[in-house]
Amino acid sequence: MSANETNTEAKKRILSGIQPTGTFTLGNYIGAIRNWAKLQDDFECLYMIADLHALTVRQVPAELRAHTREAAAMLLAAGINPAESILFVQSHVPAHTQLNWILCCNSQFGELSRMTQFKDKSAKHPDNVNGGLFTYPALMAADILIYNADLVPVGQDQTQHLELSRTVANRFNNLYSPTFHMPEGYITKEGAKIMSLVDPTKKMSKSDPNVNSFILMNDDKDTIIRKFKRAVTDSDGIVRYDAAEKPGISNLMCIYNIFTGKDMEAIEKEFAGKGYSDFKLAVGEAVADALAPIQGEYARYLADKKYVDEVLKDGAEKASYLANRMMSKVYKKVGLLQI
């Protein structure tokens, strides 16, 4: 039996989400989106644009709306295939917020208070420590549990939230009766975390005020090469992988490895006796060449809003069907009157 003849029933279900916070970075692409596309053949995948989670920090309404469609266009451009996977927007499936409430009532103040993301974000936005920020993990648990997802691809920064989803699922199952699957994290080995080009000890993030610290998915070739040329490295001039001592060069080597398939040893050989500037140029070119076709597709999807919206509508319908079934089960179990 060939790989694509495998029985669908046996396929595990994957759910993941990404916030529509403007153009994605190379870090988002390497750490999440690229893998989402790869998982489609082996799993039954649901991919969600987490617009409700985005509201936990202040948004400009028109921008959030635009970013949501742009996120969908980028996911399609990066290879998410709506014929294979369910691609949808979180707020288009109201059942997520319904389950969110039930799970809020089954999450403890102490548990939510211990979430490091809550603590970090509260410190970052002291003027807007809102209830949604606090109960963020309960909504994320709802996203996952409402589909009985088996596997949840998440970055390191979300593993604590995933653990809370398991705690809450377990509590609910024990209190009522077995209802939710226990979701597992799905962490890919390499390239899970791409670091800032300016401070390689920090994660690459679009919220960094220095635009040279990140590559955006729609940066043009010149910009990409310029940013890599300026990347902070070290002064010993040898292209060698050593994440602790040479975090800048090691980060660039990871990126080069991902786009060329060359392993660390091969990269070290290729640039033996050459300076950092040759290496940085090569990394920049490899990234620009890899992103070019995605950028082309992205422009094409963005120009065809009707198609993108149809994909999202279809995705929301399919997701709602699954989510609503779970919701009526849950409402019944907790004792809400159904007439």
Q: What is the total count of residues that contact ligand TRP (CB under 6 A)?
A: 13
Which ranges of the chain would DSSP assign to H, the alpha helix?
A: 26-28, 34-39, 51-54, 61-77, 95-104, 109-113, 116-124, 131-145, 159-175, 221-229, 247-260, 264-270, 276-302, 305-334
Q: Select which of 11, 12, 206, 329 is catalytic.
A: 206
Of 56 and 196, which has the nearer Cβ to ligand TRP?
A: 56
Q: Least distance (Å) from ligand TRP to the CB of residue 90?
A: 7
| Residue 154 DSSP code | -
Alpha carbons within 13 angstroms on the beta-carbon side of residue 6 total 12
Q: In the complex, what is the shortest distance from the CB of residue 200 to ligand TRP, in angstroms, rounded to a whole number?
A: 21
- Examine the residue annotation and report whether 121 is marked as an active-site residue of this protein: yes
Cα–Cα dist 168/176, whole Å: 12
* 200 touching ligand TRP, by CB under 6 A: no
The answer to whether residue 27 forms part of the interface with ligand TRP (CB under 6 A) is no
- Count of other CB atoms within 10 angstroms of residue 125: 14
Q: Could you tell me which stretch among 150-158, 230-238, 244-252, 290-298 binds ligand TRP (CB under 6 A)?
A: 150-158
Q: Shortest gap between Cβ of 160 and ligand TRP (angstroms)?
A: 11
- Contacts (Cβ under 8 Å, ≥6 apart) of 237: 275, 276
Report how far residue 191's alpha carbon sits from residue 158's, in angstroms, rounded to the nearest whole number: 16
Of 20, 27, 44, 53, the residue at the interface with ligand TRP (CB under 6 A) is 53
Closest to ligand TRP by CB, 28 vs 213, is: 28
User: Which CB atom, from 224 or from 312, has the smaller least distance to ligand TRP?
Assistant: 312
Nearer to ligand TRP, 156 or 277 (CB): 156
The CA distance from 212 to 189, in Å, is 26
Cite the active site residues.
121, 203, 206
